[in-house]
Chain A
């Protein structure tokens, strides 16, 4: 199959150059080139990320200093920040949109969209995605959904504010909260479009990985990045449609008087006609996507980290097969654990037992992955590039955040920490911060592939990393404590409970760390923009990496390789491999063997 694809690609190459007269519009806007689309995803994702992080700073300020008036509220929130006092309903809107933006727009589209698009064709040796056109549609649907989400911030009654999980009846009834009017409608429309975009993208990734691998690139020779993107796309295709069905039913409940999720409701002085629906059904549907979604977010980061870590450690990734197997195991388990978000939702406690069992099983492949990363560092020759630092940071937050999952996944323990700040601390560390580190690691590592050989400034990178990594722990570590003190999340202020008065100073510490960490992202932003234009151009293969993308042209051309596509003769982790008599590396003086190098005479063949 791949051989056929290769031939086809070569034919394609022969006539390339004849009919590709690029205009500004086809090159920068409606581009069908995967490299340009990946940059579009990245820039849109970063833009949304800025908004999401800015929102978090606003509500963190409210939590730390609930009695203070901040002019900034008035400037940014308008009528909801009059006299510098934040309105309670806009607080909920901020947390809702922060969650939505960060989970879907930054960490799903910004991370997986960017790097799947950039790396799948380049690392498997393909000239482009299977369908460049669908790929373009996928991006523009994502763009459209971003625009609609941002538009919803400006509607009169405010944007959706029922939490990013939008549990009905709160999200279904405008009488229950103002944000459930037009704001919620726009939220649902935006997400429906987002799901369509995600599905088109995922199908494209799957087909490309299965069909367009270059000659010799068997599945077991794929870099772990590609394995991660491939499996992520599969989970996306399996679970996103379920969210769409939930969204459609919610739209019908809201607009057409059906009762999928509503029953026996008395609100604003009247009884609603709805009868027989169940909000628990919505929770099931939502989390059937919602839980795989956290793996859709974290798996690509894991793939990027594995690749970057091996490259910079100058060592093969430890236990390649175990790494692939754990990706598969995590993907499979991720679809049967959603109930751990619902232990106390009122569903049958027996189901809770089943979900506790499956949930704690996920700890096993996760533990294997963590140990394998640590072993990859062991006796390496670690090149501390910024990407490497973020990869190490990823493993650190993945471990600290993942371990508390043992508590939350245990139904008996979940009873008392459910929906407290303990949960907020847990998922921010394990999927939020970790996935962001993965994103940063990827950007620092593959920046030269995106911007024609230019490198990001390393010193600014170090500053960015160290401030972020200290700040992120400063934010989320103390949060475990206020959670275990019983403080519920999504409270506009805790001043109505004198019992929580002694948590105020913890909240102040958290907010100060949050502001510092957010400021460090400005360093990254500056570095990103200035290096895009004035970055120093590095060598063609700056990190001495084995994978195919570094053999492609530095200059972006349609079709990636000017000549024929290279064939592959080995796996992608032949770092520091010694020759038969162990006197030197296989290629003397060079500690890596690119994938397109045939087996050398002085080299022992391993089963890779």
Chain B
């Protein structure tokens, strides 16, 4: 059915093009130079107006996208440094919109205003040092500001240090799943190497390392709110990337080395679920899922589960066939809830004994 529709669309498109071409040809019967394939005044006029229409199209497209899809964007940042990134993003975006609006308008307006006419004289205007100086120096100043602001933000975020008693957690990537290893009461991760992978010791942790004994390996990341976390990333096989969009955090996991990223979660999962943007988004998603379920149930399949918001960790570096489904749930909760959950998890020493 769809194949037929596609074929139909292609055929109709072909017919449309053919007809349009015919109209174009019919519309030019008079005048000697109309036979040529070089633009005449009529073409200049037509395309000049089209250029104006083009500018309006781009603005309308922009407005439509914001109107229709403005609410698909990520909600407010759920980490302390995320607010800084968002701020920088707003400033850069504002700059982009101003410059884009202005330059695209000039481009289209000039194309329209100075469209060719017979006898119109173009101005021989080859150089103007002052003008060129102005539009070199303005980007220099604006970009200097942006670069300095960006670099301060970047240094701030990437400066991974031990201030504020951070919690150390390992993120371990493999085709096609994630594991998290908590460093336990000593807050120090035990040594590990892929050469030690065996049976239940999936992460290759050195069982003889005293630091490793209280480590805890899980496949659901729980983080206490307001506590700084340093993630130590490892990969077992190929490149992966730990992407946590809601926390404005991402770092590649590279086999053979340990990479790191640090942030402080600032909004619990519960609070985020109550956030206005998130409830709106979840509401829309669930409506779509209900509609889809109806179709599925009619076909005799199972319907879709309603969606509940959760933070997520995604793989964001092409890593193989199932790259599209390599995820882990992240739960941000109060310190008490976190501790209660942690108590129920076996340490590596316990897990290996079994």
Within 8 A of A (CB), among B6-65: 6, 9-10, 13-14, 17, 20-21, 24-25, 35-39, 43-44, 46-48, 50-51, 54, 57-58, 61-62, 65
Assembly CA distance A432 to B78 (angstroms): 35
Q: In the complex, are the beta carbons of B257 and A280 less than 8 A apart?
A: yes
B226 within 8 A of A: no
Determine which residue in A314, A320, A346, A577 has the highest number of CB atoms from chain B within 10 A of its CB, and name it: A346
Q: Which of A344, A473, A575 contacts B250 (CB 8 A)?
A: A344
Determine which residue in A264, A364, A378 has the highest number of CB atoms from chain B within 10 A of its CB, and name it: A264
Q: For the complex formed, measure the closest distance between the CB of B130 and the CB atoms of chain A, giving whole angstroms.
A: 12
Q: In the complex, what residue of chain A is closest to B123 when comparing beta carbons? A: A379
Q: For the complex formed, measure the closest distance between the CB of A98 and the CB atoms of chain B, giving whole angstroms.
A: 13
Assembly CA distance A262 to B69 (angstroms): 42
B274 within 8 A of A: no
Q: For the complex formed, measure the closest distance between the CB of A558 and the CB atoms of chain B, giving whole angstroms.
A: 28
Determine which residue in A412, A491, A503, A515 has the highest number of CB atoms from chain B within 10 A of its CB, and name it: A412
Give chain B residues whose Cβ lies under 8 Å from the Cβ of A280.
254, 257
Q: In the complex, are the beta carbons of B122 and A490 less than 8 A apart?
A: no
Per-position binary interface string of chain A over residues 333-354, scored 1 when its CB falls under 8 Å from any chain B CB and 0 otherwise: 0000000000011100100110
Give chain A residues whose Cβ lies under 8 Å from the Cβ of B325.
496
Give chain B residues whose Cβ lies under 8 Å from the Cβ of A370.
103
Q: For the complex formed, measure the closest distance between the CB of B25 and the CB atoms of chain A, giving whole angstroms.
A: 7
B166 within 8 A of A: no
B interface residues, tally (CB under 8 Å): 130
A406 within 8 A of B: yes
Give chain A residues whose Cβ lies under 8 Å from the Cβ of B194.
264-266, 271
Contact status of A384 and B47, CB under 8 A, knowing A71-B3, A177-B320, A481-B72:
yes
Give chain A residues whose Cβ lies under 8 Å from the Cβ of B69.
478, 481, 506
Q: In the complex, are the beta carbons of B21 and A459 less than 8 A apart?
A: yes
Q: In the complex, are the beta carbons of B256 and A267 less than 8 A apart?
A: no
A176 within 8 A of B: yes
Q: In the complex, are the beta carbons of A485 and B74 less than 8 A apart?
A: yes
Give chain B residues whose Cβ lies under 8 Å from the Cβ of A346.
233, 251-252, 254, 257, 259
* Count of A-B residue pairs with CB < 8 Å: 400
Q: In the complex, are the beta carbons of B126 and A606 less than 8 A apart?
A: yes
Assembly CA distance A262 to B197 (angstroms): 18
Q: For the complex formed, measure the closest distance between the CB of A526 and the CB atoms of chain B, giving whole angstroms.
A: 9
Stretch at the interface among A128-136, A213-221, A394-402: A394-402
Q: In the complex, what residue of chain B is closest to A66 when comparing beta carbons? A: B324
Within 8 A of A (CB), among B121-172: 121-128, 131-132, 135-136, 139-140, 143, 146-147, 150-151, 153-155, 157-159
Contact status of A352 and B307, CB under 8 A, knowing A381-B122, A488-B314, A497-B327:
no
B303 within 8 A of A: no
Q: In the complex, are the beta carbons of B114 and A377 less than 8 A apart?
A: yes
Stretch at the interface among A14-22, A40-48, A113-121, A413-421: A413-421
Q: In the complex, are the beta carbons of A265 and B255 less than 8 A apart?
A: yes
Contact status of A265 and B132, CB under 8 A, knowing A177-B321, A271-B194:
no
Contact status of A68 and B116, CB under 8 A, knowing A315-B122, A506-B69:
no
B316 within 8 A of A: yes
Q: Which of A88, A411, A498, A543 contacts B321 (CB 8 A)?
A: A88
A303 within 8 A of B: no
Q: In the complex, are the beta carbons of A410 and B92 less than 8 A apart?
A: yes
Q: In the complex, what residue of chain B is closest to A354 when comparing beta carbons? A: B151
Q: In the complex, are the beta carbons of A361 and B254 less than 8 A apart?
A: no
Q: In the complex, what residue of chain A is closest to B308 when comparing beta carbons? A: A498
Q: In the complex, are the beta carbons of B124 and A578 less than 8 A apart?
A: yes
Q: In the complex, are the beta carbons of A384 and B195 less than 8 A apart?
A: no
Contact status of A416 and B250, CB under 8 A, knowing A384-B39, A455-B38, A470-B57:
yes
Q: In the complex, are the beta carbons of A496 and B96 less than 8 A apart?
A: no
B227 within 8 A of A: no
Give chain B residues whose Cβ lies under 8 Å from the Cβ of A563.
none
Give chain A residues whose Cβ lies under 8 Å from the Cβ of B93.
407
Assembly CA distance A52 to B255 (angstroms): 32
Q: Which of A162, A363, A419 contacts B241 (CB 8 A)?
A: A419
Q: In the complex, are the beta carbons of B21 and A266 less than 8 A apart?
A: no
Per-position binary interface string of chain A over residues 66-87, scored 1 when its CB falls under 8 Å from any chain B CB and 0 otherwise: 0010111000000000000000
Contact status of A279 and B37, CB under 8 A, knowing A176-B320, A415-B157:
no
Contact status of A278 and B324, CB under 8 A, knowing A378-B114, A499-B312:
no
Q: In the complex, are the beta carbons of B122 and A313 less than 8 A apart?
A: yes
Contact status of A498 and B307, CB under 8 A, knowing A265-B255, A399-B104:
yes
Q: In the complex, what residue of chain A is closest to B246 when comparing beta carbons? A: A486
Q: In the complex, what residue of chain B is closest to A96 when comparing beta carbons? A: B318
A258 within 8 A of B: no
Contact status of A271 and B195, CB under 8 A, knowing A88-B321, A360-B147:
yes
Q: Which of B17, B140, B151, B315 contacts A357 (CB 8 A)?
A: B151
A30 within 8 A of B: no
Give chain A residues whose Cβ lies under 8 Å from the Cβ of B146.
360, 406, 410
Give chain B residues whose Cβ lies under 8 Å from the Cβ of A522.
14
Stretch at the interface among A167-175, A197-205, A229-237: A167-175
Assembly CA distance A68 to B6 (angstroms): 13
Q: In the complex, are the beta carbons of A382 and B3 less than 8 A apart?
A: no
B207 within 8 A of A: no
Q: In the complex, are the beta carbons of B43 and A477 less than 8 A apart?
A: no
Q: In the complex, are the beta carbons of B122 and A498 less than 8 A apart?
A: no
Within 8 A of B (CB), among A415-438: 415-416, 418-420
Give chain B residues whose Cβ lies under 8 Å from the Cβ of A278.
254, 256-257
Q: In the complex, are the beta carbons of A395 and B126 less than 8 A apart?
A: no
Q: In the complex, are the beta carbons of B9 and A277 less than 8 A apart?
A: no
Give chain B residues whose Cβ lies under 8 Å from the Cβ of A374.
103, 106-107, 110
Give chain B residues whose Cβ lies under 8 Å from the Cβ of A89.
321
Give chain A residues whose Cβ lies under 8 Å from the Cβ of B76.
none
A529 within 8 A of B: no
Assembly CA distance A496 to B121 (angstroms): 61
Q: In the complex, are the beta carbons of B250 and A418 less than 8 A apart?
A: yes
B2 within 8 A of A: yes
Assembly CA distance A441 to B151 (angstroms): 39
Q: Which of B125, B139, B246, B315 contacts A316 (CB 8 A)?
A: B125
Stretch at the interface among B178-186, B211-219, B282-290, B344-352: B282-290
Within 8 A of A (CB), among B71-118: 72-74, 84-85, 88-89, 92-93, 95-96, 99-100, 103-104, 106-108, 110-111, 114-117
Q: In the complex, are the beta carbons of A170 and B316 less than 8 A apart?
A: no
Q: Which of A163, A499, A542 contacts B285 (CB 8 A)?
A: A499
Q: Which of B6, B123, B143 contacts A72 (CB 8 A)?
A: B6
A550 within 8 A of B: no
Give chain A residues whose Cβ lies under 8 Å from the Cβ of B249.
415-416
Within 8 A of B (CB), among A355-409: 356-357, 360-361, 363-364, 367-368, 370-372, 374-375, 377-385, 388-389, 392, 395-396, 399-400, 403-404, 406-407
Q: In the complex, are the beta carbons of B127 and A320 less than 8 A apart?
A: yes
Q: In the complex, are the beta carbons of A319 and B284 less than 8 A apart?
A: no
B322 within 8 A of A: yes
Q: In the complex, are the beta carbons of B155 and A353 less than 8 A apart?
A: yes
Give chain B residues whose Cβ lies under 8 Å from the Cβ of A591.
121-122
Q: For the complex formed, measure the closest distance between the CB of A276 and the CB atoms of chain B, giving whole angstroms.
A: 8
Assembly CA distance A379 to B285 (angstroms): 52
Assembly CA distance A504 to B288 (angstroms): 10
Q: Which of A356, A377, A462, A577 contacts B24 (CB 8 A)?
A: A462
Q: In the complex, are the beta carbons of A485 and B122 less than 8 A apart?
A: no
Which 10 A-B residue pairings sit nearest by Cβ, starting from the closest?
Answer: A263-B256, A486-B245, A349-B158, A346-B259, A384-B47, A455-B37, A459-B24, A266-B194, A491-B324, A377-B110
Q: A271-B194, A371-B135, A477-B61 given. 20 additional CB < 8 A pairs? A: A68-B2, A265-B256, A313-B122, A318-B127, A344-B250, A345-B252, A360-B146, A368-B139, A377-B110, A377-B111, A380-B114, A382-B48, A400-B100, A411-B151, A412-B157, A477-B62, A488-B243, A488-B316, A498-B307, A538-B37
13 pairs across A/B with beta carbons < 8 Å?
A89-B321, A92-B321, A266-B236, A315-B125, A349-B154, A381-B120, A384-B44, A396-B58, A406-B146, A412-B151, A458-B37, A460-B21, A542-B38
